[in-house]
Amino acid sequence: MTDIILCKLGEIVLKGLNRKSFELKLMGNIRRRLAPLGKFRVYCLQSTVYVEAEDESADIDAAFEALKKVFGIIKLSRAAACEKDPAAIARRAIEYLRDDMLVAKSFKVESKRSDKSFPMTSIQLSQYVGGELAEAYPGTAVDVHEPELTVYIEIRDLAAYVHAAAVPGAGGMPVGSNGTAVTLLSGGIDSPVSTYMIAKRGVRLIPIHYFSFPYTSQAAKEKVIELARLLTEYTGRMTLEVVPFTHIQEEIRDKCPEEYFTLIMRRFMMRIAERIAEANGAKAIVTGENLGQVASQTMEAMASTQAVTHLPTLQPLVGMDKEEIVQMARRIGTFDTSILPYEDCCTVFTPRHPRTRPKISEVEEVEAALDVQALVEEALAGIERIKLDHEEL
């Protein structure tokens, strides 16, 4: 029997009667993620998803790395499978963990016995395999309290499995298990992180980018496309909706007081996002807003922005410190792209003294100078859709 990947489930195990639907969604996501890497058998038993290579062309190393970024998996390990026989398990441990045993100064064995028909208790099996390993590697001491290496043995329905310590998975819920939302994706640090965080809650996402050519360059657009592409390793395939925003911003500049520019711009963004959401069956709008970070992110300003939509606005970063957001951006791999020095539509026609405590009635009065409906329809008609997938990375 050959190498296998054991994927431990996270929050899914807490689900009740609909748990099976979450498991099926996760296995579907895993199969799509691994499809470019060869043929794999994927199945779920006893709160664990098993991934086995079906032929020699399947890249098990690449599969292991890819599965670290699949939401719904809390931890995973490379394991060796063998028949459920104590002597066979000991031989497999001696062979499979050779490199680890030669490097470690101390070890212990931990066993779990899901199959209660196995003739040894967990403690008896650990003692037996530990003795065999100690004899095979006399230079590695047994230390049951603080070992450098822990050898894990699992006795399950189909086979026995031997592995070293598991590595952390992405956690969260399987993408697609908690509905669909649109997410506002700029070229900054915050919005890719907010997109990642909501995808982690099992939401399928449709990213929207507002593009103001020639005030923002083609390079700025390519930067956002790259950010979305990087996120597909976690979110799965997405279609980026690039909304032409130049005419709207010029109309705001020409017909509205400068201090309201950003507020009215963001109200247009939310209106357009709601229309895109409705067309795609999405039930929420995700933003990267962070309370008090900039003038347009006061409570009053956010209330004014959200007043134009009936959909819930999800703001996963709202209470985070900026350094926390930066650290997460580095961890998920978007930070270096986010800091590339290309302009964003949010920096176009930025007011020198923005209104930070607006009343909604005031904003509506100022906005009355614009043909809001016509501008929204024009922007929707000009959308460019770009399909993105992790395979393109």
**pLDDT tens readout for residues 38-55:** 999 999 988 899 999 998
Tell me, what's the pLDDT at 1? 47
Residue 69 has pLDDT above 50, yes or no: yes
Give the residue with greater pLDDT, 21 vs 345: 21
Strands 73-82 and 48-53: unpaired
pLDDT at 179: 96
Q: Is 3 exposed, middle or buried (0-12, 13-18, 19+ CB in 10 A)?
A: middle
Say what the pTM is.
Answer: 0.90
Place of tokens 């690449």: 62
**Within a 10 A sphere around the Cβ of 381, how many other Cβ atoms?**
8
Would you state the pLDDT for residue 2?
A: 63
Average pLDDT over residues 280-302: 90
Distance (Å, rounded) from C-alpha 337 to C-alpha 334? Answer: 6
pLDDT of residue 391: 64
Task: Give all domains of the chain, ordered by start, each with its CATH number.
Answer: 3-168 (3.30.2130.30), 180-392 (3.40.50.620)
Q: 348 pLDDT exceeds 80? A: no
Mean pLDDT of the chain: 93
130 burial via Cβ count (<10 Å: 0-12, 13-18, 19+): buried
| Residue 339: both structure tokens together | 């800091």
- Dist CA 144 CA 150 (whole Å): 9
Measured between alpha carbons, how far is 346 from 336 in angstroms, rounded to an integer? 20
The 8-class DSSP code of residue 140 comes to S
CB 256 within 8 Å of CB 191: no
* pLDDT at 393 (0 to 100): 45
DSSP β-bridge partners for residue 83 = none
For 281, the token pair is: 């069956």
Q: Is the distance from CB of 316 to CB of 192 less than 8 angstroms?
A: no
First to last CA, the chain: 33
Residue 7 CA to residue 29 CA, distance in Å, equals 13
Per-residue confidence (pLDDT) for residue 318, from 0 to 100: 94
Q: Is the pLDDT of residue 280 over 90?
A: yes
Compute CA distances 261 → 60, 91, 139, 255, whole Å.
Answer: 53, 71, 71, 10
Return the minimum-mean-pLDDT range out of 219-233, 296-310, 319-333: 296-310
Q: Comparing 295 with 241, which gets the higher pLDDT? A: 241
| 3-class DSSP assignment, residue 229 | helix
Beta strands in the chain (DSSP E): 3-9, 40-45, 48-53, 73-82, 106-113, 141-142, 149-155, 160-163, 167-168, 180-184, 204-211, 238-244, 285-286, 313-314, 384-388
